[in-house]
Each structure stands twice: as C-alpha cells, then as structure tokens.
C-alpha cells in the first residue's frame, strides 16, 4: 500500500467514524446562538447550537440529515470550535473553505478532524456538503454577537 493510499484510508475512517458516532448531536439547552444551513440540491440540512461564554464557545452541538460528508463535517465542527473565540471561529471557517478548494493551501492543524476532509476538493460539487455546518456556526455566532 502506498503512502497516499494509507492517508486516504485514514481520512475515510475518520469521516466514517464521525458519521456513525456523531459527537455533540442534538439540540443544546441554554444555547446563546443557533443557526441552520441547507443544500437544497442534495437535501442536506444542518442545524447548530452554541453557548458562548466570556467570548468563547463553551458548548456546540448539531442536528441534521443528509449525506455522509455534511453530517460528519458537522460533528467535526462541533469539536473544532470548542473553546475558540468567535473571531477565531470566523477565521477557521475561512481557512477551511479556502483549504478545501482544488490546489488550495491545505488545512491548518487547529481544524482537528476536519482535516480528514481535505480530499473533498477533488469533487467540487461536494465542497458545499463539507462547509455547510461551519457556515451555519459562523453565521449563528456572528448574528449572536449583537
């Protein structure tokens, strides 16, 4: 097995794990921000909740339905944004979206398991599935600020 194949298999395993054993799934009681994003073309829907305390994300959860990528990514995002400031979440969302583009700059370590989605750039029509939950979080947090 080549190194590239190993990397691909590891990524697929991480994605599959988040899909089958989603982290932080279900509505969050006492959420200070909530948001929703959908992808009508494929039928993906993701709803997110966050509790922000002292300017940082103390808790984050999601619920939704749709493809493996959209639901696994949502699970990953709830982990990645824990403890991050609202500004940091906005920056990470930008870096995530840019890093997924074909020939993009790659994904920074701060994104954690979301880095398993790096290969999605090969399928431009699937990028939207991967960024859906992050978009919902960033927008929820931005609108929750005022």
Torsion over CA: 91, 43, 65, 34 (sign): positive
36: contact with another protein by CB under 8 A: no
70: its two tokens: 């959209």
Measured in Å, how far apart are the chain's first and last C-alpha atoms?
Answer: 52
Q: Does 123 bind another protein (CB under 8 A)?
A: yes
Q: Using the rule CB under 8 A, is 42 a contact of another protein? A: yes
- Which member of 69, 81, 114, 136 binds another protein (CB under 8 A)? 69
Cα–Cα dist 143/141, whole Å: 5
Number of residues that bind another protein (CB under 8 A): 16
| One of 80, 100, 117, 129 touching another protein (CB under 8 A) | 129
Task: Figure out which of the listed residues 43, 55, 83, 124 binds another protein, where binding follows CB under 8 A.
Answer: 43
User: Nearer Cβ to another protein, position 48 or 72?
Assistant: 72
The pair of structure tokens assigned to 43 is 């039928």
In this structure, are residues 48 and 62 in contact, taking their beta carbons and an 8 Å threshold? yes
Q: Which stretch binds another protein (CB under 8 A): 50-58, 61-69, 76-84, 94-102?
A: 61-69
Distances from the Cα of 83 to the Cα of 28, 29, 44, angstroms: 16, 18, 27
Interface with another protein by CB under 8 A: which residues?
12, 16, 40-45, 65-69, 123, 126, 129
């Amino acid at each position: 097995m080549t190194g590239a194949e190993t990397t691909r298999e590891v990524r697929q395993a991480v994605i599959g794990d988040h899909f089958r054993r989603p982290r932080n799934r279900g509505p969050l009681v006492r959420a200070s921000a909530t948001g929703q994003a959908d992808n009508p073309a494929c039928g993906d829907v993701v709803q997110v909740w966050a509790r922000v305390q002292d300017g940082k994300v103390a808790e984050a959860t999601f619920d939704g339905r749709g493809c493996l990528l959209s639901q696994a990514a949502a699970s990953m995002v709830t982990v990645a944004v824990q403890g991050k400031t609202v500004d940091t979440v906005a920056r990470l969302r930008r870096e995530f979206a840019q890093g997924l583009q074909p020939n993009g700059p790659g994904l920074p370590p701060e994104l954690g398991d979301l880095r398993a989605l790096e290969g999605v750039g090969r399928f431009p029509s699937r990028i939207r599935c991967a960024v859906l939950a992050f978009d919902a979080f960033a927008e929820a947090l931005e609108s929750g600020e005022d």
